[in-house]
Structure 1
Amino acid sequence: MADEESQNGNPDSDRLARGKARLAEITGRSGAEVMAALGEIAPDFARYIFEFGYGDIYSRPGLDLRTRMLSTVAGLVALGHAERELEVHIGSALNVGATREEVVEVIMQMALYAGFPAALDALFIARKVFAERGLTPPQG
């Protein structure tokens, strides 16, 4: 149905399709888990994530995806209470070309602004993501 609406010029359908495609590009997943998880409680909220978050913001031309994802990691570290999102977005940063070292540096930078506890928690989340991907720490 979304494809049919998109062909009929429905801008919301275009945003939804663009958002789903961008999410898949960044995370390597379809986003079906988000839709399923929120389906019973707030299906519109899932649609907003796709349309606004990924269809509008993550699809803007002003920054490359690597920079956007590193910025997202920084913002989530600063929040200090978004462990699930931080785990997803650290993985997404790696998916779009950020290195392990860049992710660690961004998190460490946030200690100045978000505090050491927030940075420390984020480093432990990063360690988990790195281990799941077989990314070992540099030797030296």
Structure 2
Amino acid sequence: MTTSSNRRDSALALLKQLEKEAPEKVTNNLDSFDHEAVELILGFAFTDVLSRPGIDLRLREMLTVAMLASMGTAQGQLDFHMRAALNTGVTREEIVEIIYQVAVYAGVPAAMNAISSARKAFITT
């Protein structure tokens, strides 16, 4: 069972800005887990936080790439947000610089994982 709400619709619209095919993939995954997952998880992340006016989506994606790369434990999310960053206007050169910054502050292994994600994103976008 899927439900529709303004919060869900808003989250999916923002997700579509990041990657055109993402809403269908994500809703299929989350709806099969629980009918409230999109509302709760994406509603919080995309509607409540990413849609805030304080900084633009391009900068948010740069920050997201840096944080996910630094974590080193969310490779699938990093892969997605590398593509999303490119889709919001972040340049390859900026991603390279973000990864160098990750190497300094989060370590070389985290940077190596980020390089793998970046290389995949550079090929697909």
Give the TM-score taking structure 2 as reference length: 0.89
Correspondence list, 1:75-86, <5 A = 75-86=67-78
Deviation at 1:128, TM superposition (A): 1.4
1:95-134 alpha-carbon deviations (Å, 9 max, x no partner): 111001101111110112211101111111111111223x
Alignment of 1:81-96 (within 5 A): 81-96=73-88
**Does 120-129 or 71-80 show the bigger shift?**
120-129
Cα separation, partners in 2 of 1:127 and 1:64, compared to 1, 3 Å: same
1:108 has 2:108 as partner: no
Matched, 1:14 2:11: no
Match of 1:132 in 2: 124
| In 1: Cα distance, 2:92 partner to 2:84 partner | 12
Pick the structure with greater CA Rg: 1
Equivalent pairs: percent with the same residue? 40
Runs of 5+ consecutive residues of structure 1 not aligned to the other structure: 3-12, 134-140
Aligned residue-pair number = 123
Counterpart in 2 of 1:98?
A: 90
C-alpha distance after superposition, 1:72-98 (max 9, x if no partner): 000101110111101100100011110
1:8-47 → structure 2 map (5 Å cutoff): 13-47=5-39
The 3 A distance-change label for structure 1 pair 40 and 123 is same
**Residue matched to 1:119:** 111
The higher relative CO (CA closer than 8 Å, separation ≥ 6) is in 2
Give the alignment partner of residue 55 of structure 1, picking from 47, 56, 70: 47
Letter matched to residue 70 of structure 2? A
Give how far 1:64 is off: 0.8
Q: Which amino acid in structure 1 is aligned with residue 47 of structure 2?
A: G
Mapped contact 1:35–1:43 kept (Cα < 8 A): no
TM-score normalised to structure 1 length:
0.80
Q: CA RMSD in A?
A: 1.5
Partner deviation per Cα, 1:11-60 (whole Å, 9 max, x = no partner): xx222121111111122235121121233333423332321111111100
Question: Any idea what SS the aligned residue of 1:22 has?
Answer: helix
Supply the AA of the counterpart residue of 1:97: G
1:136 aligned residue: none
Equivalent position of 2:65 in the other structure: 73
Given the superposition, is the C-alpha separation of residues 73 and 30 from structure 1 closer, same or farther in structure 2, using an over 3 Å criterion?
Answer: closer
Amino acid at match of 2:121: V
**How far, CA to CA, are the matches of 2:22 and 2:84 in structure 1?**
13
